[in-house]
Structure 1
Amino acid sequence: MIADGSSNGAVPADAVVTPPAHAAPPARALPGGGETRRHTLIAIVLDKPGVLNRVSSLMRARNFNIDSLAVSRTDQPDTSRMTITLHGDDVAVEQAAKQLYRLIDVLKVQDVTADAVVAQELALVKIRATDSNRAEILKLVELSKGRIVDLAGEAVIVEVTGPEAEIDGFVALVRGYGIKEIVRTGSVVMSRGSSSIEEAVKR
Structure 2
Amino acid sequence: MKRTIIATVHNTSGVMNRITGLFARRNFNIESITVGLTENPSISRMTFVVNVDDERGLDQVIKQLNKQVDVLKVRDITDEAIIARELALIKVVATPETRGEISTLVEPFRASIVDVGRESVTIQVTGDQQKIEAMIDLLKPYGIKEMARTGVTAFKRGTKKSVLDSPKYSIIS
Common topology (TM > 0.5): yes
Distance apart, 1:131 and its partner CA: 1.8
**In structure 2, what is the equivalent of residue 87 of structure 1?**
51
Give 5+ residue unaligned stretches, structure 2.
Answer: 161-173
Mapping for residues 137-156 of structure 1, pairs under 5 Å:
137-156=102-121
Residue in 2 that maps onto 1:58: 22
Other-structure match for 1:16: none
| Aligned counterpart, 1:173 | 138
1:62-82 deviations in Å (ceiling 9; x for gaps): 100111000010001100000
Q: 1:41 and 2:20 equivalent?
A: no
TM-score (norm 2): 0.89
Match of 1:162 in 2: 127
CA drift of 1:194 comes to 3.9
Of residues 70, 83, 88, the one that matches 1:118 is 83
Task: Kindly state the Cα deviation for residue 101 of structure 1 after the two structures are TM-superposed.
Answer: 1.1
Deviation per residue, 1:150-186 (Å, 9 max, x gap): 1111111110011100000000000010001111111
Q: Distance in 1 between matches of 2:79 and 2:55?
A: 11
- 3-state secondary structure, aligned to 2:132: helix
Higher strand fraction: Structure 1 or Structure 2?
A: 2
- Which structure: larger Rg? 1
What SS does structure 2 have at the residue aligned with 1:153?
A: coil
CA drift of 1:132 comes to 2.1
Larger proportion of helix: 2
Please give the alpha-carbon distance, in whole angstroms, between the structure 1 residues aligned to 2:110 and 2:131: 10
Q: Return the letter of the residue paired with 1:106.
A: V
Measure the CA separation in 1 of the matches of 2:154 and 2:31: 14
Percent of matched pairs sharing the same residue: 43
Matches of 1:77 and 1:144, distance apart in 2: 33
- Counterparts of 1:130 and 1:94 in 2: how far apart (Å)? 51
Question: Which protein has greater RCO, CA pairs closer than 8 Å, 6+ apart?
Answer: 2
Residue type matched to 2:125 in 1? V
Distance 1:172 1:54 in 2: 36
- What are the ranges of 5 or more consecutive residues in structure 1 without an aligned counterpart? 1-36, 196-203
User: Match of 1:34?
Assistant: none
Q: Aligned partners of 2:151, 2:80: CA distance in 1, in Å? A: 18
Residue 127 of structure 2 is aligned to residue 127 of structure 1: no
SS in 2 for 1:54: helix
The 2-side partners of 1:194 and 1:135 are apart by 42
Structure 2 counterpart of 1:48, one-letter code: T
Q: Distance in 1 between matches of 2:103 and 2:69?
A: 48
Q: Name the amino acid aligned to 2:95.
A: T
TM-score by length of 1: 0.76
